[in-house]
Homo-oligomer: A and B are copies of this chain.
Amino acid sequence: MAFETKKVALPDAAGELIDRTAYEPVYVQLVNILRRQVASGVLRPGDQLPSEAQLCRRYSVSPMTVRRAINILVDQGVVTAEQGRGTFIRPVELGTASFQLQRLQDIFDDEPHTTVRLLQARIVAADERTAQKLQLAPGGRVIYIRRLILARAEPTLCHVEYLVYDPTRPVVEAEMDVTSLRGLFGGTGATMMKHGDLSVEATLLTEEEADWLQAARPAAAFRIEHLFFDFDDRPVSWGWFICRSDRLRFTSHIGVRETD
């Protein structure tokens, strides 16, 4: 039984050839051939790949093309290449899993079904924590903004943001399009940020937040904090999103599937 499946699997995987007439580039075909061998179990963690010279002959491609394919597999975390020794299939590791914040962005980008409601917006003196984050003198002025984001009419996200208030900085005006998150994270706003730091925590909803998000307390939520800097590396925006956990889930996959 086990023998039968092997008899079928091996020639299939080992017998693949490059199709020079195909739309897919050769190096992509080679990546997929090797990925399939890992995904099907022909190649297992710890196994050594054929050497680059062997792969050149086996698939009738030039060394550079083989190297390109292998570099991609290295980037994808499928194999590790060790100079002088060889290239080996990597075992699956829990730590390699990664979660994309794209899931949050998707909510904003689902335009016709997403609306932003302005809850508060006013100029205030920064408290100690805010002043420290935005590198302001204590009591410096900031724009305090509180937004509620509704996805398909369901309250989904709270957003609290503190913006440096400085009339000489043009960024302020762009940000003041307060009922559009795209202003901040999609279009023009993004081009005014050089970089930013982000962190994700689990937190309890406050009474106020639960009220806005129409959730019963106690309830757990994601807290996604952000700190953005302009092109002079000065902080311009500090704040956080609060998102009900049942409205946002981060998923990931480790190990090799046929294709990505």
Chain A's interface size range is 35 or more
Taking the complex as formed, is A28 at the interface, i.e. its CB lies under 8 A from any CB of chain B?
no
Question: CB-CB < 8 A to A185: which residues of B?
Answer: 93-94
The answer to whether A202 and B221 have CB atoms under 8 Å apart is yes
Q: Which residues of B contact A193 (CB under 8 A)?
A: 92, 255
The answer to whether B252 touches A199, judged by C-beta atoms less than 8 angstroms apart, is yes
Chain A contact residues: over half helix, strand or loop, or mixed?
A: mixed
Name the segment of A102-110, A118-126, A129-137, A143-151 touching the other chain: A102-110
User: Can you show 13 pairs from A to B with CB atoms below 8 A apart?
Assistant: A41-B194, A41-B232, A44-B231, A91-B190, A92-B196, A95-B100, A97-B198, A193-B255, A196-B255, A197-B253, A198-B253, A202-B220, A220-B221
Residues in A lying within 8 Å of B, measured CB to CB: 39, 41, 44-46, 64, 75, 91-102, 104-106, 185, 190-191, 193-204, 218-222, 226, 229, 231-232, 245, 249-257
